[in-house]
Amino acid sequence: MQTARPVPASTVVNLRDLGGIALGRDRRVRQSVLFRSGQLSGLDPENDRAVAALGIRTVVDLRTADERRWAPDRLPHRSRLFVADVLGDHPGVAPARLRSLLADPVEAERALGGGRAEELFAETYRKMVLSPGAAAAYRAFLETAADARARPVLFHCTAGEDRTGWAAAVLLMILGAPRATVRADFLRGDPAVRAALAPQVARFLEGGGDPSLAAAITEVRPHHLDVALDAMDERWGGLDGYVRDGLRVPDSVLERLRDGLVIRP
C-alpha cells in the first residue's frame, strides 16, 4: 500500500512527501506539494540539498509556544512560517513535552508511570479532535494547504507523528483516502522517529528510565489513531460532520483542496 514517500533529508527528521498516495478510482495525491516532518530546528538550509530542492513556500508549525521557544524552526530559503498551535489549550500533555520527558527519567515516571502513559496519550488524541483550539489550528492548516500560492507546504510538530499524523489523516480522508490507507500512512513514520530519537532514548535508559515509558513516548501506536477516529465518529458522526461542524471548514476550501491536490485519470 502506497504511503508518504520518504525524502532523504540529512537535517530534518521524518520528512515525507504525501504525493502518490492512492485515493481510490485511480486517483492519487499530487506529488511535491505537501510534505510532513518533525521539527526544523536542526535544518541546515545551506547544505541540506534534499530540502532545498523541494522549494517549500510555507512551513506550518503545529507545536506549542514552549516547543517553538525551546527549539525554533530554521526555515528553508524563501519560505514563510505559519503557526497553527494544536495543543495551545493543553501545553502540558505528553506529545508537547516529548524531548523534555526523555531528558528527565524522574519527571517521565511522575507524569506517565503507574500505567498512566497509554491513557494520557489517548486523552491527548481526544483533545486533538475535540478541543476548540485544536479545531482552529487544523482548520488553519487545511486553509493553508488549499491555497495554491502557499504550496509547496511542509507541516510538522516535534517528531512528526502525533499532531502531524492527525493532520495528515484528516487531509487524506478529505481527499478520499480510505481509512486503511490512512492507517498505513499513520504508522509509516515510526521507524524513522525511533531512529532519530535513539540517542535520547539511550541516555534516558542509562539514567534509569523505564523502557516501557521510553516506548510510550516515542512509538506511533495504532490505538492512538483509533481513539481519534472514534472521537470524531462519536461526536460528529464521521468525517463530514467533523469537517463541517467541528473544524468549520468552508465548502470552498474543500473544493480547492480536492481540485489542487488530487490527480485524476
pLDDT of residue 55: 98
More confident site: 89 or 21: 21
pLDDT of residue 181: 94
C-alpha cell at 152: 509547496
Give the pLDDT band (50/70/90) at residue 96: low
Contact 138, 54 (CB under 8 A): no
Helices within the chain (DSSP H only): 49-52, 65-70, 98-102, 105-112, 116-130, 132-146, 163-175, 179-188, 190-206, 211-218, 222-236, 239-241, 251-261
Domain coordinates of the chain in residue numbers?
5-248
* Nearest Cα residue to 117 out of 185, 125, 200, 156: 125
Interval 27-45: pLDDT, tens: 999 999 999 999 999 999 9
Summarize the confidence of residues 134-159 as an average pLDDT.
97
Summarize the confidence of residues 89-112 as an average pLDDT.
75
pLDDT of residue 94: 60
Summarize the confidence of residues 5-13 as an average pLDDT.
94
pLDDT of residue 171: 98
How far is residue 39's CA from residue 156's CA, in Å, rounded to a whole number?
6
Q: Which CATH number fits domain 5-248: 3.90.190.10, 3.40.50.150, 3.40.50.10540, 1.10.760.10?
A: 3.90.190.10
pLDDT of residue 105: 85
Q: What percent of the chain is predicted at pLDDT more than 70?
A: 96
pLDDT of residue 1: 58
For 62, phi and psi rounded to 5 degrees? Answer: -90, 5
Interval 193-225: pLDDT, tens: 777 777 887 888 888 888 888 887 778 889 999
Interval 166-200: pLDDT, tens: 999 999 999 999 999 999 999 887 677 777 777 88
* Nearest Cα residue to 216 out of 83, 117, 86, 142: 117
Whole-number average pLDDT of the chain: 91
Residue the block writes with cell 481527499 = 175
Contacts of 95 (CB under 8 A, 6+ apart): 87, 121, 124, 157, 158, 162, 163
How far is residue 199's CA from residue 202's CA, in Å, rounded to a whole number?
5
Max mean pLDDT range (66-75, 110-119, 243-252): 243-252
Whole-model pTM?
A: 0.92
Summarize the confidence of residues 8-19 as an average pLDDT.
95
